Amino acid sequence: MATAAYRDIAIHLGVDAGSELPAQLGYAAALAAGCEAHLCGLFNRPCLPMIRHYIPPEVIERHKAECERAAVKARQLFDAAAQAEGIATEWYDMPGSALETVLVQARASDLLLLSGVVPGDKTARDYDRETLADEVVLALGRPILLLPGAPKPGLPKTILIGWNGSREAARAVHDAMPLLQRATQVTILCVDPEGQRGLPGAELARHLSRQDVAAELLVHAGRDRDAGSILLQTAQDRKADLLVMGAYGHGRIRETVLGGATAYMLGKMELPVLFSH
Amino acid sequence: MAIRDILVHLSEDPRNGAKTDMALQIAQRDGAHVTALYTLPPPQHLFYMGEYVPPEFYQRQIDEARAAAKKAKAEFEAAAARQGVVAEWVESERMPVDAIETYGRAFDLLVLGQPDPDPENPVLVPSGMDVLPHDISLRAGRPILAVPYAGSYPVVGRRVMVAWNGSREATRAVHDALPFLTKAEHVTIYCINADRSRGTPGAELARHLARHGVKVEVSNTVVDDIEAGEALLSAVSDRSIDLLVMGAYGHSRLREVVFGGVTETILSSMTVPVLLSN
């Protein structure tokens, strides 16, 4: 029985959205429909950086036109995705940086969807999506769901929890509760069982059973720095369609999951990751 | 999310009864289990007796601590049985802060006691106890319900006030408090200097909470940062609030020096239970 619920799901859309946007909006709309939540689109129009206090008027005009074009396109795709799922929506079109927009609006939501880095996508000319995800997850106070290029739509059925007994992992698990309660298979993967400070995975399994989540426990006696690749490998083996884990401070999302070969793997696996801090 | 799993911290403390009652009250309402984590006091070392301390001295301390734990356990189990709540008992010899921080991560809510600012026998208070609820709220990743050091609270969560400044910490607290908010008769979002911060406006929060089925009233207040704690305390008593929900702020950053001070002001002078989260 599901007692936890998301009622407001937000998704950020930037002017730099690439060809993956329709698939991501489709995922967001299906998730909102599955959770009976509202979907809130957050679009931001970034300001031009000042160069010696002067920007030629034609540059400003061009920037404005580009923003307008991107806003219209994003809105159309957003509305189309929402209509396909028949969900209630809201649309915020705000001036300012992506970080400001997200921090102001997404605190009044249950979950924020962000586009991750899509390897090999030449159309995505983002200023730095990894940095955005890093900063948002630390400063928001809500969980974020990082989307790969083309996630498989629908509520996640098989969920993998990356557990090391930390504060952040505890946050991520509890923030993911609405999804855990609706999943058919939940696996707890203990990636740092020898850590002295953390809580053993068995305690988490006991706790989840009280929340009507039956979880299977896997223990991997690996070192902490291998955690990212072990998690992704296990996720692939188990055909998980969601990974839940804590975010541990600046740069760590990038290092553990998005870095180098792992980013490639993420793109291949089409695996969304729920992070919390 | 419903509260299904509550941890209450007990120790050699006259407030065990109040903390137990609070945990049982919530458990009964939500159909939750209650686990008591009893922390045994570490033996006191004697520094003034020269080189030799008879082993019996330590043994007596240990025996007394065990006897106190046994008595507390009997009282806890009797109270739980009276209320018909499924209860568990766990003992730990670790320092309270470490034991609660780690063990508490697999619970929905941690019920802790706000320490007496003027304890009868300060020597016997283990280190770290004076800031226990605040400290744990920063480290456990779970919400804390801090029970004041005096008084009894037969009703908690009927009239709830959320201290809102649009910050990350307040966001955490309000979402962690949803199981209380959805059952409350009256919820006030008390915005402190909301126009000055760049955080989420109270009206946006009200819209969001309405989606969760929580009816709220929004109240805006502008005060000096230094007086925020006092303003909050008087609003709590003026409105007959029985549960205050607020973010717990650390001490590390400049911004948090101000709000961290608020956390301590509220905790040390509060007259109602406080739900704290970081």
- List residues of A whose CB lies inside 8 A of any B CB: 3-5, 7-8, 37-38, 100, 103-105, 107-110, 139-142, 165-171, 174, 177-178, 197-199, 203-204, 206-207, 210-211
**Domains along chain A with CATH numbers:** 8-147 (3.40.50.620), 158-276 (3.40.50.620)
Q: Do B2 and A178 touch (CB under 8 A)?
A: no
| Side-chain half-sphere CA neighbours of B124 within 13 A | 12
- Which chain A positions have a beta carbon within 8 Å of B205's beta carbon? 107-108
Closest chain B CA to residue A213: B4
pLDDT at A100: 87
Q: Do B141 and A167 touch (CB under 8 A)?
A: yes
Question: What separation, in Å, do the N-terminal and C-terminal C-alpha atoms of chain A show?
Answer: 27
Q: Do B200 and A177 touch (CB under 8 A)?
A: no
User: CB under 8 Å to A171, separation ≥6 — which residues?
Assistant: A143, A246, A276, A277, B141
As a 3-state breakdown, chain B gives helix, strand, coil percent values, each rounded to 5, of 45, 20, 35
Cα–Cα separations (whole angstroms), residue A18 to A23, A77, A256, A268, B267: 10, 12, 24, 17, 49
- Residue in this structure with the two tokens 């799993």, named with its chain if needed: B5
pLDDT at A271: 85
Does B2 contact A at CB distance below 8 Å? Answer: yes
Minimal CA separation from B173 to chain A, in Å: 9
pLDDT at A125: 45
Minimal CA separation from A45 to chain B, in Å: 18
The candidate with the shortest Cα–Cα distance to B157, out of B272, B16, B21, is B272
Cα–Cα separations (whole angstroms), residue A135 to A140, A206, B140: 8, 33, 21
Same fold, B5-147 and B159-277: yes
With beta carbons less than 8 A apart as the criterion, state whether B80 and B100 touch. no
Q: Which two tokens stand for residue A4?
A: 């936890």
Q: Which residues of B126-159 are buried (b: 16+ CB within 10 A; e: fewer)?
A: beebbbbbbbbbbbbbbbbbbbbbeeebeebbeb
Query: B219 φ, ψ to 5°?
Result: -130, 130
**What is the mean predicted confidence (pLDDT) over B198-227?**
87
Q: Which residues of A85-97 are buried (b: 16+ CB within 10 A; e: fewer)?
A: bebebebbeeeeb
- CATH for the B5-147 domain, from 2.60.40.10, 3.40.50.300, 3.40.50.620, 3.55.50.30: 3.40.50.620
With beta carbons less than 8 A apart as the criterion, state whether B77 and B87 touch. yes
Q: What is the tally of helices (H) and strands (E) in chain A?
A: 10, 10
3-state DSSP assignment of residue A273: strand
3-state DSSP assignment of residue A167: helix
pLDDT at B83: 95
Q: Percent of chain A beyond pLDDT 70?
A: 81
pLDDT at A124: 43
- CATH for the B159-277 domain, from 3.30.950.10, 3.40.50.620, 3.90.10.10, 3.40.720.10: 3.40.50.620
B172 closest CB neighbour out of A3, A141, A178: A141
Q: Do A7 and B4 touch (CB under 8 A)?
A: no
The candidate with the shortest Cα–Cα distance to B42, out of B15, B57, B62, is B62
User: CB under 8 Å to A89, separation ≥6 — which residues?
Assistant: A38, A39, A40, A41, A78, A79, A82
pLDDT at A261: 47
Minimal CA separation from B108 to chain A, in Å: 8
* pLDDT tens digit sequence for A154-164: 999 999 998 88
- What is the per-residue DSSP string for B133-146? HHHHHHHSSS-EEE
B4 closest CB neighbour out of A198, A203, A210: A210
Does B172 contact A at CB distance below 8 Å? Answer: yes
ipTM (interface predicted TM): 0.90
For chain A, which residues score pLDDT lower than 50?
119-127, 258-261
Q: Percent of chain B beyond pLDDT 90?
A: 57
Q: Do A100 and B198 touch (CB under 8 A)?
A: yes
Better-scored residue on pLDDT, B249 or B175: B175
* pLDDT tens digit sequence for A123-153: 444 445 667 787 888 889 999 998 887 888 8
Instruction: Write down the domain spans for chain B.
Output: 5-147, 159-277
**What is the mean predicted confidence (pLDDT) over B132-161?**
92
Neighbours of A1 (CB within 10 A): 6
* pLDDT tens digit sequence for A13-33: 988 777 889 999 999 999 999
